[in-house]
A = this chain, B = another copy of it.
């Protein structure tokens, strides 16, 4: 599998990369395989604006997004023990998962 590199590429970027190895490939195939990988739990899809980015890490973690260049990086955001219970109480929802998005500027853009 050519997918799941070490950054957070969008479908378009993955399509370009794959084409360097398999020049005749169509984007339908790329999208199909990405969906299959997501479904199979091999990669994770992260929506950023109107496009999807793909993350090889499938364990629970959070993301920082650079407001200038759009770069997305993994982070661990420590959640206090009672926070989820507090949010459940407030909302009446039963919470099964969560994702923190942090916004700022990346080292390169600073």
Listed in ascending order, the chain A residues whose CB lies under 8 Å from chain B are 47, 49-50, 62, 64, 66-67, 73-80, 82-84, 86-88, 90-107, 110
What separation, in Å, do the CA atoms of A85 and B43 have in the docked complex?
A: 28
B77 and A87: CB pair below 8 A?
Answer: yes
What separation, in Å, do the CA atoms of A82 and B80 have in the docked complex?
A: 11
B90 and A83: CB pair below 8 A?
Answer: no
Closest Cβ of chain B to A105, distance in Å, is 5
A87 cross-chain contacts in B, Cβ below 8 A: 62, 64, 75-77, 102
A79 cross-chain contacts in B, Cβ below 8 A: 80, 83
Please name the residue on chain B nearest to A110 by beta carbon: B94
